[in-house]
Every structure is written in structure tokens, then in C-alpha cells.
Amino acid sequence: INRPFTLDRQQGMQIYGRFDGGGLADINYWVSALTGTGRGARENNDLELMYVARLQWNFLGEDVEMSGCDLERTRRPSAIIALAGAMNRSPYTRFAQSGGGDLEGFAGGDTSLYDVRQVVVESAFKYKGFSWQHESHWKHVEDVHIGGSRDLVGSYMQVGYFPHGGLNWMPSELEVAGRFAIYRPDVDIPDNLEHEYSVAVNWFFKAGHKNKLTAEYGYIAFQQKGVPYNQGSRLRVQWDISF
């Protein structure tokens, strides 16, 4: 679900901070005013900025690094619940590393103009090799020139665990993980749905995330109005090396 909802990198200004009163009174905040025209763009053509705000509650008194797994075997439980929102008027309905782009069904071009509003709720938890990560997205796109609008929703949940924490005979480098994701490109069309189930085994070498071997199996199903129901499986083996 990253493709339709990500804002990717935008240039602009940001104010951020943390109110750390200990325990439940631990909150991070971010407020940004950005160009809203994509990665590397320092200006826009209508002076309409993208505004983004995020509030994160560290209700156990510890922040959680969004690394995807508890490679450090966190000794004290850490968890967050976060709420973020963004609003933008631009020719684009989505963003990627290449800059501004278009969701399927929306025309792009110099004369296009869209009002986009989106919200995400996040949660994460880590403790002794166990990790949880979740995002739920809502996005509203309105065509300013032609008229009409669309609402998109998507969510994913991901868990991981290093079994060495409960079974000493298991290698400490091994992690097992699972993920479920669902995406509806248009909530007004009942038969418009994509979902994925996947399980993975990760082997972390001494460099951690910079040197990792992954074997993953995924089941993907696709359903769209007027298109036959489609499903399939995917098997992936990948070795990640970062410098």
C-alpha cells in the first residue's frame, strides 16, 4: 500500500519536538509546510503548499524505531500510537522517488489540479525480539477542474519474532515474520479490493539490516468490478547488502 499513499520526500520547513514528562506523558510532534510538488522540487506553480502534521504518543515512555524488527532485543517494552494528516493542492495524486505522479484513473498534465486530503493511524511495539508494526490509511482526492472525487483506504499489519528468545537452540540470527495488507482503490465500488498474506524468514548477518538474507512466500488476490477474480502466489529469495 506504499505506492498510493506515500508522500515521499518533499522540500520545505518542519517544526518538531518531544514533550517527555515520563511514562504516559511522552509525546512527539511534527508540523511541516512543504512544496507539495515532489522530490527535488523547490517551488510550485500555484503557491499552494502541502501541510503535514503528525502526533505520536509514546505511552510506555519509550520511542520505537521504525526498523521493522527488534534486532536489538529491546529490554524494556516500547510502543507508540500515532496520527498524521496531510493536505495538498497540486497536479499530482501520488508521489514517488521520481517525483509527482498519478493514481490509476486520474489524468496527469499541466492543466490538472487536485485537492488531496489524507490521514494515517500508526502503531508499533517492540520487546525482547518481538515486533509489531501497523498503518491504516484514508485518502480523499477531488478533481478541481473536472469535478468528482474518490476515496481510497488501505492497511497493513506486520509481526516479527526472533525465536531464539524462547528457544535457546534456535540461531539468534533468525527471524520469522508475517504480514497482511489490504487496499481498496475506490471505496464506492464494492468489488474493488486487493489483499496480500505473506510469511518470511530473515537471516541477519553481523551487519544487521545492512546484510540480510530473506526468503518470503506471499499470496495475493485481486478483485475489481468487471474483471475476473485473480489470485496467485509469489516466492522470493533476496539478499540485501547496504554500504
105 CB-near residues (< 8 Å, 6+ apart):
150, 185, 186
Q: CB within 8 A of 236, min separation 6: which ones?
A: 214, 215, 216, 217, 218
Residue 86: domain span: 2-241
Q: How far is CA 177 from the centre of its chain?
A: 17
**Residue environment code for 83-107, b if the CB has 16+ CB neighbours within 10 A, otherwise e:** ebebbbbbbbbbbeeeebbebeebe
| CA diameter of the chain | 64
With cell 493536505, the residue in question is 87
Detail the DSSP E strand segments found in 61-173.
78-90, 94-96, 99-101, 114-127, 130-143, 149-161
Per-residue model confidence as pLDDT tens for the chain (243 residues):
889 999 988 888 999 999 988 788 899 999 999 988 877 777 776 678 999 999 999 999 888 877 778 998 999 999 999 999 999 998 889 998 878 888 888 877 666 689 999 999 999 999 999 999 999 999 999 998 888 899 999 999 999 999 998 899 999 999 999 999 999 999 998 878 899 999 999 999 886 778 899 999 999 998 877 677 789 999 999 999 887
How many domains does the chain contain in total? 1
DSSP 166: T
CA-CA distance, 16 to 199, in Å (whole number)? 36
